[in-house]
Chains A and B, each alone.
Chain A
Amino acid sequence: MNKPSFLQNGILLWRNLTSCGGAFRPEGRDYRRAFLINVMLLAAMGVFGLFTLLNLLVFNDFEVAMVDLLAFICSSTALIYFRTSRDVERSSFITTFIVGLALLVFLYLTKHYEYSLFWLATFPPFAYFLNGTKRGTLAVAMLFLPVFVMLVVNLGVWQPAPYELVSIYNISIAFIALAILVYFYEKSRHQAHVQLQFIKAREATEKERNRLLREMHDGLGAQLTTALYATRNEQASIDEVANYLQLALEDLRIMMDSMQAFDGDVATLLGQLRYRLERRIQQAGLELTWKVDDLPNFPAMTPQDALNLQRIVQETLVNTIKHAKASKISLVAKMKAPNCLKIQVTDNGCGFDDQQDGFTGRGLSNLHYRAVELNAGLTINTQPSKGCCVALLIPVAKTSNS
């Protein structure tokens, strides 16, 4: 029983250390950088501490031991500072600065002896992982510039370095430190990826649920309520109630259609909508002219876009069926330009005065709202007794012929 609890304690301690005592939650924005800062400071402490002891006790190099000790103290202070302040930006900078300076001083003192140059290779990961690409490049340049100057100036001055036990220590520990750095970077990157996927999936589910709730509330719920009240108050004939219910069922089917996988085929989306509304169009005595071109596929179009498009066209057609008192209606869908899809619904009905208050009501604002979400241009051209023309211009990104 003792051993696993010891291991568990170790894991808990590690989690505590890398998240500043739980201050950074895995779903938080800065968790990953905080994790990296802590891991890198811990690694720096380990390496500097180890070399303080090695230089003091084994290699008898007092100067380098002092540099290592100083660096060890600085990184411990930085770790404590980060733990209390939780200032990610500043701690990243401080960590990079300490490590860079320690490496530079180490090189200055030992020159190229003891294979000290190997250690420089551990700096770019530090710099980039903690500071991002821009500041990382700056930090690398600031360290490597003096290093190269030193190397060039000392060409012919420095003698070949001996290869001995201390070289092996330096080479192998530098390698291990580098491997550990990259390992933890990759690990935190993977964690972040998993976390991101999780958040995305949760958001998508949430969005979908809200959408379904809204539709059930506005569409189905409203229709069923109307049917129920009409039946209760015996205001409506059985035929009328049957019609309400039929509409509710048809709306439910359109909802089902919108839940099918969408792969960018707008022509079928429109076709399916016609198929679902055909009965109502015929019942309203409308003569429908259908002109849907062989449209290309729009792979960049999202299911959300498809839903908005479906709803705009559906509401436009239903408005005509319900309110326009028209005898003819037409739908045209074609490419207006290689990157612009045009869908136009025209009727010869009673039209309306779009300046008048009653018509700026919910139906139209819904259309505009959805058009904005779709990033499409929506124009409604109408005058009393002169019919109505609703045109939708949808910018479409790259297209491919299916």
Chain B
Amino acid sequence: MTDTKKAHTLYSKKELGQLQLLMPVILLVTVFSLLPLLRGIYLGFTDYRLGDPIAFNGIDNYIQLFQDEYFWSSFRIGMIWTVVVTALQVSLGLGLALLLNTKIRFTAFYTILILIPWATPPIIRGILWRQMYEPNAGAINILLTDVGVISAPINWLSSFEYVIPAVIVAGVWGEISKAAIFLMAGLQTISNDLYEASTIDGAGIWDQFWNITIPVLKPVLAAIVSLTFMWNFNTFGIIWVLTQGGPGGLTRLPMLAAYEEGFRYGYIGYAAAIGNVMVIILSLILFMYIRVQLRERNES
């Protein structure tokens, strides 16, 4: 508070000074981020193709999207991917964080090892798992054959049956670390007194988990779920490397669909429309999340 007042007396005569300092950022953000975004939203209501004149076509794109089977299958797989990856990532990450938060040795060492997949760039994650799933020389087929689970090599990434679980495993693999590290930091804010007091009252580990850990961790958990949900919904790189959306469009996530429509076939307007639908879906989910948060805050 005192800082604010002092800042006022020290700088009040130079209000223009702030704008001078901020001008480069404001210009850059306006020209390369704000205007393109508004323009992008607008293009979603046009039939624009690269090189052609732009014509407003109202909701034609959305009527077409509604009837487009590719679009529906892309959003279906997009939702499956996002929900399953987010759920597995957060629950496995929470499990790992809880284990690492116990009073045992080597946790610092374990934590560094756990960071490694997160530190791997998305394209490299794709390459790693391609080499794992490689039909003839990949580790998965070799291990499963050795154990006797399968007798002939499976071509995981071209199989209609196995491709979705296969890409989900690869996706979750790279994201567990992130959730675990964030949740660990959240767990460390819970005071030990709470656990000690409840132990004296005779509460078991399970009771403590539901009655202390989860309620205290809720804001962090909610933030992580909504952030990872957004990130996973926008996944592009790892799938691009693993399957390019195949086989038969089975792993064509919304971002891949939009990329193909816009930059492979040149249907810029249509691709922007897919982008707009993605924004609406994400905003709805975030809106619901904020409402739940607010309601709980009012109740407590």
Asked whether A and B interact, the reply is no
Q: Chain A residues in contact with chain B, CB under 8 A?
A: none
Q: Chain B residues in contact with chain A, CB under 8 A?
A: none
